[in-house]
Amino acid sequence: MKKYVSIFTALIIILSFALSIYADASEYDVDMTIRQIAHDVGLKGRELAELLGLKGSVDKDTALVELGISHLQLEAALEGVPLHEPGKEENITDINIHMTLPEAAHAMGITGKELAHDLKLPVDADKQTPLKELGVKEVSLAEAVKHAAHEKNGGLKWLKYPIWLLICGFAMLLLMTGRTSKVLYLSTLTASLAITGFILGKAPNPMESVVKLFKTAVGIYPDYTAPVLAFVFFCTLAIIGNKLICGWGCPFGALQELLFETPMGRSVRRLREKKLPFMFTNSIRTPIFAIFVLLIFGFAGNKKGLVLYHYINPFNLFDFEFLLISVVISIAVFILISPFVYRSFCQFICPFGLISWVLEKASLTKIQINRTNCTECMACVAACPLESMKGRMDDKVWLADCFSCARCLRSCDYDALDYKPIWWKT
C-alpha cells in the first residue's frame, strides 16, 4: 500500500510541474498580428503598437514575431505595463490607491500581475479600476511598495548561493570521510542558521524556489530565468548529496534540528524516540502541495495567483515579517514542537521537502549498507529520527526522508554504514 501511495505522490509532483509549464499558456501569441489582438482586447491597433514600443504606423497585419516582439513583451503590453528598464529610476513617492494597477505597477517597476499578487488581489484583477475600488488599503499598498523596493535592491542575498555550496561541500567531506561528530554537525547548522538565515534574510531559500517557479508560471514574474536557475540550484544540491541542502544548508531546517537537539528531561527524550509514520506525514504534505497548485492556477477558489504557503511561511522569521497572524502562529507552532517532533515543517509542509524526497531516488551520494559487516543490531534504526533507516534495512523502494544527519553513521559499531557515491561498491 505504501509503495502505491509513494508512486501516487511522485505522479502528483510530476503533474504539477507539467501544469507549471502549460497552465498559463496565453490565448494571445506572437504569431498573431497587432490587428487580431487589438480587436479582441478592445484596443486600437495604434494603441497596442505603442504599448509594444512600436511606431503607431507599423504594419498591423504582420505577425508580432516578425516585428521582433517577444512573448514577454506581449504579455506586459496586454497588462498595460511597460517592462521595467534596468537602471531606470522610478518615482514611487506619488503612488496611491487612486491609481490603477498598471499605473502603480509601472511606477514601481514591476508587472501588474506581481503588484496584484502582493496586494492579495487575483492576478487577473481589472486593470482599469482604481486600487481603492478594488478594496486596497493605503497600508497594504505601502507594504507592497516596500516589498518591491526590497526585491529590486536585493542587497547581499546573492551571497547565499556560494555559501550554500561551501556548506554542502563541507558536509560531503565530513560525511564521506567519517568525521561525523555531533559537534561539527551542530556547529555547521548554527553557522547556516546565522548566516543564511538571520544575517542575509529569508530569501532566497529552498521553499521559495518552488513557490517562485509556480508564481512565474502564472505570470506574476515575467522572467523565468532567475526562478528556474534557483530551483535547479537547490535540486542539484539535493541530488549531489542525499537531501544535503535540506539537512545542512536550509536555515529553518537548521533551527528545527538545533531545537530537536536541545537537552531535555527523560520524558522528552522518550517522546523524541517515537517516530511519526512516514505514510502519515507524507499524506499531509502531498495534498497541501496539490492544493497549492490548484489555488495558484485558479483551478480552485476564485483568486488566481493565491499562494497557500505565504500564510504558513516560517522563513518570514529571518526578516522579522509578521504581518499575517497565520504566519506568526505557524512560526510559533513549529518552534514549540521542534524539540519533540523531528523537523515538523519539513515533514508536514515544505514543498521543496516533498520534491527533494522524490529526488532522493536520483541522489548520487547517500547512506549505503555493507551487508557483510552488518549484524542487524538495529542501532542505526533506533538512532534515525525518522523511518528512513528502517526502510533501508528492509530494502524498501521508497524511503522516508533522509536528511543526511549522520546519526546512523555515528551509531554503527561494526563499520557497516558508509556515506558514499552510489557507484562505489560496498
- The DSSP code sequence of 16-81 is HHHHHHHTT--S--TTSBHHHHHHHHT--HHHHHHHTT--TTS-TTSBGGGGT--HHHHHHHHHT-
**Looking at the structure, do residues 176 and 246 belong to the same domain, yes or no?**
yes
Check whether residue 295 and residue 175 sit in a common domain: yes
DSSP 417: E
Residue 396 located in a structural domain:
yes
Residues 6+ apart with CB under 8 A from 91: 107
- Tell me, what's the pLDDT at 154? 65
The β-bridge relationship of strands 417-421 and 365-369 is antiparallel
Is the Cβ–Cβ distance between 80 and 51 less than 8 Å? yes
Domain of residue 137: give its range.
Answer: 92-150
Based on the domain organization, do 180 and 321 belong to the same domain?
Answer: yes
Q: Which residues contact 412 (CB under 8 A, 6 or more apart)?
A: 379, 380
Backbone angles phi, psi at 162, to 5 degrees: -65, -30
pLDDT grade for 43, boundaries at 50, 70 and 90: low
pLDDT at 280 (0 to 100): 96
Which of these three, 333, 359, 385, is where a domain ends?
359
DSSP string for 376-394 = ---HHHHH-SSSHHHHHHT
pLDDT digits (tens, 9 = 90+) for 165-206: 999 999 999 999 999 899 999 999 999 999 999 999 999 999
pLDDT score of 426: 57
91 pLDDT above the threshold of 70: no
Q: How far apart are CA 51 and CA 78, in angstroms?
A: 8
pLDDT at 89: 41
Does 25 fall in a domain? no
Residue at 84 is within a domain: no
Quote the mean pLDDT of the chain.
Answer: 85
Q: Which of these three, 150, 175, 191, is where a domain ends?
A: 150
One domain, residues 185 and 129: no
Cα–Cα distance between 228 and 219 in angstroms, integer? 14
Whether residue 18 is contained in a domain is answered as no
Residues 54-77, mean pLDDT to the nearest whole number: 78
Report the pLDDT averaged over residues 25-40. 67
DSSP state of 369: E
Note whether 407 and 383 are within 8 A (CB): yes
| Signed CA dihedral, 295, 239, 191, 163: sign only | negative
Average pLDDT over residues 31-56: 75
Per-residue cell: 406 = 549522520
Is the four-CA dihedral 280, 282, 284, 290 of positive or negative sign? Answer: negative
- Backbone dihedral region of 243: left (phi > 0), alpha (psi from -120 to 50 degrees) or beta? left
Residue 138 and residue 163 in one domain? no
C-alpha cell, 302: 476564485
Instruction: Between 46 and 395, name the one with better pLDDT.
Output: 395
Same-domain pairing of 117 and 196: no
Do 123 and 89 touch, CB atoms closer than 8 A? no
Instruction: Estimate the crossing angle of helix 160-177 against helix 182-193, to 10 degrees.
Output: 170
